[in-house]
Amino acid sequence: MKKICISVGVLLSLFRAGYGQSTTQPAYEKRKLKVEEINLVSSYYQQDGNNSAVTGGIGTEKLTDFAQSFDLVLKTTDQRNRQHTIAFDFNIDHYTSASSDNIDPLTVSSASRSDTHIYPSLSWSVHNDNNRTTKGLAFSYSTEYDYKSYGFNLNFAKASADNNREVSLKAGAFFDTWKAILPPELRPDGYGSGAHGDRDPIDYKPRNSYNLSVSLSQVINKRMQLLFTVEPSFQQGLLSTPFHRIYFQDGGETVEKLPGTRLKLPVSFRLHYFMGDRVVVRTFYRYYIDDWGMQAHTANLEVPVKLTSFISVSPFYRFSHQTAVRYFAPYEQHKQTEKYYTSDYDISGFNSQFVGIGFRTAPPGGLFGIGHWQSVELRFGHYTRTTGMVANSVTLLAKIK
Amino acid sequence: MNKNPFLKTLGLTVCISLLSLTGCTTVKEYQKSRINDAEMELSARKSEKFEQNFYLYREGAAGANGGKSGGGCGCN
């Protein structure tokens, strides 16, 4: 009883002190921009198959990709007590691709057999606790040998009074430019190879993408929450790849030709459930349809198991089924009379499976005694496609807080 | 009856969304220890970032998964 009295007394004196402070000093205390989080992600990906679109649906698809990502999140609070978040994300991929090497097999003159893809982005958002809204914008850039892209995004979210529901809207536009590298045997006279030092002209073609995302998240009960997302997108411009070859039934050869517009409609559903004290069930399903005739179903299940309070293991499985676009046919199956044609197996009909496991550790005092190094995560995955393509990936994530 | 598959898909999504809201209970902030767990976050993991990129390039279906939705050709 004595302890309770002392506790109540201390609490009252704190309230009193707090009240007194609020009348003599402004509630706002200027806060500096501070580092909230840094994520470092490294990934190695390797694939092989025998249906490369560069060689008309036959030939090696061997590719290796080494990717690095660095993202930095900064936060501050303004005079109206709104929380500002600035995020900078820098990504770099270096890949070697046997199929790209076959664009021009005699000389290394085009996208060649290796390239570096750099794609930074910068975003800013402001969250207002009073009206439970978040507004933000982002800019992104992407560059590789034959491709450049500028992206702009706006987003808005509003949460319910009890913070159990949130509706969010995102709108984005990407303005891309292709350097139209053609296979050497199909280049018109005087058309450049695209190689450094080649002064012959080469075409540049636009590809623009616009997307709108509407999401609804809802807390169902103390252990379950879900998220619905609808994200229609529209693309226009050069949607075919200029160095993908097509071989016709009669032996003729040309490059891939696809419609100049594409409307996509993916709808997804994510449900997460905390089972008991140690197991989380993460489920995801997406239905996809587009106006090129493709429909797809994708399901993902991941079950993180907390072995201790700071070590977890997460086995995962993903299954996807897609139908072919109506313009697809394998090597030497297209007819010259067709309006559009592709032998790209990425948009053919197939089933794919991705299975793997992740390990995560987040010790209370930080990793290796470094207090700010909050966690490390390692993921392995094996991907198979019914077209015969196989891939493996390994990812390492380090989080600093 | 409208046979447009895009409108049917959108209509079905709206119906499922509205139905899902009817079975919810109000959860107070102090009851959200499980909901606020890092593993319960309603988005893809940071470590899935590059996996989502290769899905985008190696499969025809894309979007609505919190991953990259445009920019970059993915043509290799």
Residue A27: pLDDT band with limits 50, 70, 90 = low
Chain A residues touching residue B27 (CB < 8 angstroms) = 162, 164, 219, 221-222
pLDDT of residue B73: 63
Region of residue A281 (phi > 0: left; psi between -120 and 50: alpha; otherwise: beta) = beta
pLDDT in tens, B11-70: 777 777 676 666 677 899 999 999 999 899 999 888 898 899 889 889 999 888 876 666
**Interface contact flag, A63 B76, Cβ < 8 Å:** yes
**Interface contact flag, B34 A151, Cβ < 8 Å:** no
pLDDT of residue A54: 92
8 A C-beta contact, residue A176 and residue A148: yes
Question: Would an 8 Å CB–CB cutoff place A47 in contact with chain B?
Answer: yes
- Flag whether pLDDT at A127 surpasses 80: yes
Chain B residues touching residue A290 (CB < 8 angstroms) = 60
Backbone angles phi, psi at A42, to 5 degrees: -120, 140
**CA-CA distance, A392 to A381, in Å (whole number)?**
6
pLDDT in tens, A167-203: 999 999 999 999 999 999 999 999 988 887 888 889 9
Number of alpha carbons in the 13 Å side-chain half-sphere of residue A33 = 8
> Residue type at A393?
S
- Flag whether pLDDT at A87 surpasses 90: yes
- Flag whether pLDDT at A26 surpasses 70: no
Question: Would an 8 Å CB–CB cutoff place B47 in contact with chain A?
Answer: yes
- Flag whether pLDDT at A10 surpasses 60: no
Say how many C-beta atoms besides its own lie within 10 A of residue A14's C-beta: 10
Looking at every residue in chain A, the average pLDDT score rounds to 89
Rounded to a whole number, what is the distance in Å from the CA of A24 to chain B's nearest CA?
Answer: 31
Among the partner residues B12, B53, B59, nearest to A346 by beta-carbon distance: B59
CA-closest candidate to residue B69, choices A321, A204, A268, A63: A268
Question: Would an 8 Å CB–CB cutoff place A230 in contact with chain B?
Answer: yes
**CA-CA distance, A215 to B60, in Å (whole number)?**
22
| Cα A47 off chain centre by | 19
CA-closest candidate to residue A347, choices B65, B54, B58, B38: B58
pLDDT of residue A154: 97
Buried/exposed B24-45: b ≥16 CB within 10 Å, e otherwise: beebeeeebebbeeebbebebb
Say if residue A391 is exposed, middle or buried (CB neighbours under 10 Å; 0-12, 13-18, 19+). Answer: buried
**Interface contact flag, B63 A352, Cβ < 8 Å:** no
Residue-range domain boundaries for chain A: 33-400
Among the partner residues B6, B35, B43, nearest to A289 by beta-carbon distance: B6
- Flag whether pLDDT at A224 surpasses 70: yes
Q: Which helix (H) or strand (E) holds A234?
A: strand A233-237
3-state secondary structure (DSSP) of residue A57: coil
Among the partner residues A222, A286, A352, nearest to B64 by beta-carbon distance: A286
8 A C-beta contact, residue A226 and residue A269: yes
Chain B residues touching residue A163 (CB < 8 angstroms) = 29
Residue A3: pLDDT band with limits 50, 70, 90 = very low
Question: Would an 8 Å CB–CB cutoff place A397 in contact with chain B?
Answer: yes
pLDDT in tens, A253-310: 999 999 999 999 999 999 999 999 999 999 999 999 999 999 999 999 999 999 998 9
Beta strands in A22-146 (DSSP E): 34-48, 63-77, 83-97, 114-118, 121-128, 133-144
Among the partner residues A117, A391, A396, nearest to B72 by beta-carbon distance: A117
Chain B residues touching residue A65 (CB < 8 angstroms) = 54
Read off the DSSP letter of residue A323.
Answer: P
**Interface contact flag, B54 A393, Cβ < 8 Å:** yes
* Higher pLDDT, residue A24 or A253: A253
In the CATH hierarchy, which fold is given to the domain comprising A33-400? Porin (2.40.160)
DSSP-H helix ranges across A104-249:
none
**CA-CA distance, A344 to A41, in Å (whole number)?**
30
**Interface contact flag, A230 B10, Cβ < 8 Å:** yes
8 A C-beta contact, residue A67 and residue A45: yes
Question: Would an 8 Å CB–CB cutoff place A357 in contact with chain B?
Answer: no
Positive or negative torsion for Cα A202, A116, A143, A327 = positive
Number of helices and strands in chain B (H, E): 2, 0
Average pLDDT over residues A104-127: 77
Number of helices and strands in chain A (H, E): 2, 21
- For A5, A65, A97, A277, B69, the CA distances from B74, given in Å and listed in that order, are 68, 12, 12, 41, 12
Among the partner residues B55, B58, B71, nearest to A149 by beta-carbon distance: B71
Among the partner residues A174, A268, A291, nearest to B64 by beta-carbon distance: A268
Residues 6+ away with beta carbon under 8 Å from B18: none
Chain B residues touching residue A183 (CB < 8 angstroms) = none
pLDDT of residue A109: 41
Mutate to test the interface with A, among B50, B52, B53 (most CBs of A within 10 A): B50
Average pLDDT over residues A354-359: 98
**Token pair of A382 as six digits:** 């094996």
Rounded to a whole number, what is the distance in Å from the CA of B1 to chain A's nearest CA?
Answer: 19
